């Protein structure tokens, strides 16, 4: 099913999964089990990440196939870095043949461990170029959004201008980078609307599994940590069970507040862990809430 059609009818709950690492090559039973467990929350769609430069391409396609086999709607991520138009056409052709109708078009970053024989920005410099190339095909297209600015952007307004260009080129909804401060999300969403970006903006929520994991993510993404979360990270740094519980509460209350603030969708970065994600969904009361 096309996600733009779903979003015309209701607000969405969705999940992101990633292909297992190389060393688990060929064995997709773990991710299959995770996806089967996640069906309990009746997600509106499940997104499957894509290694920039096509590192895990076959597995990303196989996982999209598993999502379909479980009667869920897949959203396949696709990155531009290192890809020619021919490479991209091969992937979109494979996605079409599988029956995938939704693509998240991304620029990607140049992976530190990959060497490209030529310029990594062969045919596409920005995600917008990829969107323009795929738009004539029949996919429902989405793009990334950054409530706290993309690290390379000179100013947050630049990102919003880019969103507007993507929307005009065919993107019908956005998914945000993870954030922990809902006020920043609401401010960003209002700014987008004022700037004429009308497409739904789904909020990316990262569950807190371990203090160390969050510290690393914060360092990479540069996202803000509100005082309340900082206190949780300090208090339970050496107590994984208590951190998991407090972290689930934090994510659940973030979701509840976003939902009552009219968010068009909640997209949970599952890190391929189903039980805590299902717990967060249950605690948030989201599935009992009105659409």
User: Contact residues for ligand FAD (CB under 6 A)?
Assistant: 49-50, 52, 77, 79, 106-109, 126-128, 144, 150, 152-153, 158-159, 162, 175, 177, 204
Confirm if 52 and 111 have CB atoms less than 8 A apart: yes
Q: Which of 104, 109, 11 is nearest to 64 (CA)?
A: 104
Backbone φ and ψ for 175, nearest 5 degrees, come out as: -120, 135
Min dist CB 118 to ligand FAD, Å, is: 19
Catalytic residues: 16
Min dist CB 225 to ligand FAD, Å, is: 18
Min dist CB 205 to ligand FAD, Å, is: 11
Cα 107 → chain centroid: 14
Q: 236 vs 265, which CB is nearer to ligand FAD? A: 265
Contacts 24+ apart (CB under 8 A), 110-119: 110/52, 110/53, 110/81, 110/82, 111/51, 111/52, 111/53, 111/55, 114/52, 114/53, 114/55, 114/82, 116/53, 116/82
Q: Which of 26, 23, 17 is nearest to 70 (CA)?
A: 17
Q: 156 vs 237, which CB is nearer to ligand FAD? A: 156
CA separation, residue 124 to residues 79, 138, 254 (Å): 10, 20, 36
Q: 153 vs 256, which CB is nearer to ligand FAD? A: 153
Work out the number of other CB atoms within 10 angstroms of the CB of residue 154.
9
Min dist CB 162 to ligand FAD, Å, is: 4
Q: Which of 206, 201, 183, 204 is nearest to 263 (CA)?
A: 201
Cross-strand pairs, 143 = 174
């Amino acid at each position: 099913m096309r996600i733009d059609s779903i979003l015309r009818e209701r607000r969405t709950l969705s999940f992101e999964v990633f292909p297992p690492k190389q060393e688990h090559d060929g064995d997709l039973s773990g991710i299959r089990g995770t996806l089967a467990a996640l069906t309990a929350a009746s997600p509106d769609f499940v997104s499957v990440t894509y290694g920039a430069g096509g590192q895990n391409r076959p597995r990303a396609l196989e996982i999209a196939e598993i999502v379909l086999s479980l009667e869920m709607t897949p959203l396949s991520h696709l990155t531009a870095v290192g890809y020619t138009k021919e490479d991209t056409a091969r992937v979109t052709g494979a996605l079409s043949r599988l029956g995938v109708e939704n693509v998240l078009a991304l620029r990607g970053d140049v992976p530190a461990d990959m060497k490209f024989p030529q310029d990594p920005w062969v045919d596409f410099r920005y995600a917008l170029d990829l969107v323009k190339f795929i738009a004539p095909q029949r996919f429902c297209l989405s793009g990334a959004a950054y409530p706290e600015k993309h690290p390379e952007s000179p100013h947050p307004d630049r990102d919003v201008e880019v969103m507007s260009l993507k929307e005009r080129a065919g993107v019908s909804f956005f998914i945000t980078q993870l954030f922990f401060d809902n006020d920043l999300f609401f401010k960003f969403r209002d700014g987008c609307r004022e700037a004429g970006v009308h497409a739904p903006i789904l909020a990316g929520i990262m569950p807190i599994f371990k203090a160390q994991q969050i510290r690393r993510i914060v360092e990479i993404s540069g996202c803000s940590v509100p005082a309340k979360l900082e206190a949780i990270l300090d208090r339970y740094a050496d107590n994984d069970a208590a951190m998991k519980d407090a972290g689930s509460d934090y994510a659940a209350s973030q979701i509840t507040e976003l939902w009552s603030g009219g968010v068009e969708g909640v997209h949970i970065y599952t890190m391929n862990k189903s039980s805590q994600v299902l717990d967060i969904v249950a605690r948030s009361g989201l599935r009992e809430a009105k659409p």
